[in-house]
Amino acid sequence: MKRLFWLGVGLAAGALVVRAVTRRAQSFTPRGIAAGVSSSAGNVLDSVRGFVDDVREGMAEREAQIHAAFAEGVTFEEAGLDDRFDDAGFDVDQDDFVQEGKHH
């Protein structure tokens, strides 16, 4: 009875190993590689779309601030819209050095 039990355990483990190895080997076939590349390209495309959406959202927010300041007839300093850069010319959000309108 013990031998039959261990035979069953061995067969089950062997079947699991064969399935795992077969899946892994499938990923190295041309079809498997194409599926992997397609999946990666889809992930990159989703990331780019997310970035573009974030940029558009930021642009719309900034544009609304500028329009509001223009409608009130105030300068950027008075409206608080010039707070993006600190006194040394560092972009507060990006840590980019900006001096005389040039990005370094």
Instruction: Please tell me the predicted confidence (pLDDT) of residue 89.
Output: 53
Q: Quick one: pLDDT at residue 104?
A: 46
CB-CB contact of 72 with 85 (8 Å): no
pLDDT at 27: 83
Give yes or no for a contact between 80 and 69, defined as CB atoms under 8 angstroms apart: no
Tens digits of pLDDT across the chain (104 residues): 889 999 999 999 999 999 999 999 888 888 888 888 888 888 899 999 999 999 999 999 989 988 988 888 887 777 776 666 555 555 555 544 444 554 44
Question: What pLDDT was estimated at residue 47?
Answer: 93
Residues in the chain: 104
DSSP 3-state of 102: strand
Confidence (pLDDT) at 86? 55
